[in-house]
Amino acid sequence: MHRMIFTVDTWIAGAFGVVLVAAPQVLFTLYGMQGDASSDFLARLLGAFVLGQAPLLWWTRDHVATPQGIAITRAHGIVDTISTALCAAACLRGIMNPGGWVVVALFVLFGSGRIYYGFIARPAMATAA
């Protein structure tokens, strides 16, 4: 299951990253957000980061029980937890339309798995190759 989280999130991160870099207005429209030159720039910058996470997740999927894999799992769990709170607040304040709850659900789904596998389950450590 831990490996599957990394594999699925590779494709989701890749898709969101490409759209954020290439056409942020698509996501702004989808989530009912206003866009201008500043928000386009920040969306593209975020997209570059998210797009860069896709290969990191892909290359780590077979090494989730190594110290490095657990560190990446924990870090992503923290990011997902904070992002859940930020996106939920944006939905509640009307910054994002009700479609934004899909993003909240994705962060909850991935974040809960990562928090579980990174901090609670404590997989048996494998040595890094």
How far is 67 from 124, CA to CA, in rounded Å? 10
> Mind listing the pLDDT tens digit for each residue in 51-77?
999 999 999 999 988 899 999 999 999
Domains contained in the chain, number:
1
> Mind listing the pLDDT tens digit for each residue in 9-24?
999 999 999 999 999 9
How far is 53 from 51, CA to CA, in rounded Å? 5
Q: What pLDDT is stored for residue 1 in this prediction?
A: 72
Q: What percent of the chain has pLDDT above 90?
A: 84
Q: What pLDDT is stored for residue 91 in this prediction?
A: 97
Q: What pLDDT is stored for residue 2 in this prediction?
A: 83
Q: Taking residues 72-85, what's their average pLDDT?
A: 96
Asked if the structure places residue 129 within a domain, the reply is: no
Distance of CA 66 to the CA centre of its chain: 21
Asked if the structure places residue 88 within a domain, the reply is: yes
Asked if the structure places residue 28 within a domain, the reply is: yes
How far is 98 from 21, CA to CA, in rounded Å? 23
Do residues 71 and 60 make contact, with C-beta atoms less than 8 angstroms apart? Answer: no
Asked if the structure places residue 33 within a domain, the reply is: yes
How far is 56 from 129, CA to CA, in rounded Å? 16
Would you tell me the crossing angle of helices 2-22 and 100-115 to the nearest 10 degrees? 140
Q: What pLDDT is stored for residue 124 in this prediction?
A: 62
Asked if the structure places residue 125 within a domain, the reply is: no
Asked if the structure places residue 128 within a domain, the reply is: no
Q: What pLDDT is stored for residue 127 in this prediction?
A: 55
Asked if the structure places residue 98 within a domain, the reply is: yes
pLDDT at position 126 over 60: no
Asked if the structure places residue 90 within a domain, the reply is: yes
Determine whether 56 is exposed, middle or buried from the number of CB atoms within 10 Å of its CB (0-12, 13-18, 19+). middle
Q: What pLDDT is stored for residue 104 in this prediction?
A: 97
